[in-house]
């Protein structure tokens, strides 16, 4: 069956639960990368996995950057709006509840997830941010009461440093989100502990994924 044109190349795998896990890959990944992880941590959830539309030396990303750690904020605003619109369109096309979408983002995927939540709060009920950074600070912070956020950092991550994670936590804290923070003895790559904590967090706040 041909894939519907919803603005992103993507994969959708239906689940038995009411919630949908929006899988957002890191730089160089694609729509297939996180499907296995998503199904392992959220056995009953729908899985919605888009491919980033920006290419950096041939590697898919979700937004442009000028250099490592230097981000194109105008492009972030554009791409986060596109992602929010994609989630809304996909909910209509596939028939899932747009109010029960949880983003699971790794690295660049975590960063577009956090930007989308800050700029378009209705798009996501919660987010799992693995190895994130602060890529954008809105001129006016949203009210994120009721939004659940899990941040998983690596103690040896050269990009998501302790000070960077503290900035991100402060940003979401000022927006009144509910934040859970887990630091692992790891670098920028994902670990088994990341998955264990993500599944535990989903079971606590979004039992429909389990």
What the chain holds in terms of domains, given with CATH numbers, is 10-205 (3.40.50.1820)
Active-site residue flag, 175: no
Candidates 49, 80, 91, 107; catalytic one: 107
- Looking at residue 149, its pLDDT comes to 98
Query: Is 157 part of the annotated catalytic residue set?
Result: yes
Q: How high is the mean pLDDT in each 10-residue block of the chain (210 residues)?
A: 83 96 98 98 98 97 92 97 98 97 98 98 98 96 97 95 95 98 96 98 97
Rounded Cα–Cα distance for residues 53 and 186 (Å): 29
E strands of 19-173, at which residues?
A: 20-24, 46-50, 54-56, 59-61, 65-67, 70-71, 101-106, 126-130, 148-154
- Give catalytic status of residue 107 as yes or no: yes
Q: Give the pLDDT confidence score for residue 180 in this predicted structure.
A: 98
* Among 25, 157, 175, 184, the one annotated catalytic: 157
- Residues 128/152, Cβ–Cβ less than 8 Å: yes
| Residues 109/62, Cβ–Cβ less than 8 Å | yes
- Find the farthest-apart pair of alpha carbons in the chain and give their distance in angstroms, rounded: 47
């Amino acid at each position: 069956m041909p894939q519907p044109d919803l603005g992103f190349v993507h994969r959708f795998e239906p689940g038995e639960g009411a919630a949908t896990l929006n899988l957002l890959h890191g730089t160089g990944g694609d729509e297939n990368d996180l499907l296995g992880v998503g199904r392992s941590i959220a056995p009953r959830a729908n899985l919605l996995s888009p491919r980033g539309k920006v290419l950096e030396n041939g590697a898919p990303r979700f937004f442009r950057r000028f250099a490592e750690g230097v981000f194109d904020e105008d492009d972030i605003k554009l791409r986060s709006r596109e992602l929010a619109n994609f989630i809304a369109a996909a909910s209509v096309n596939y028939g899932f509840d747009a109010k029960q979408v949880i983003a699971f983002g790794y690295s660049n995927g975590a960063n577009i997830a956090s930007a989308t939540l800050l700029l378009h709060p209705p798009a996501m009920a919660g987010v799992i941010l693995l190895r994130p950074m602060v890529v954008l600070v809105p001129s006016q912070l949203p009210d994120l009461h009721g939004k659940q956020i899990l941040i998983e950092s690596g103690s040896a991550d050269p990009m998501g440093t302790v000070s960077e994670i503290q900035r991100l936590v402060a940003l979401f804290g000022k927006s009144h989100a509910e934040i859970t923070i887990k630091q692992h003895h790891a670098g920028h790559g994902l670990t088994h502990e990341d998955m264990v904590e993500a599944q535990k967090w989903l079971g606590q706040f979004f039992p429909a994924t389990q």
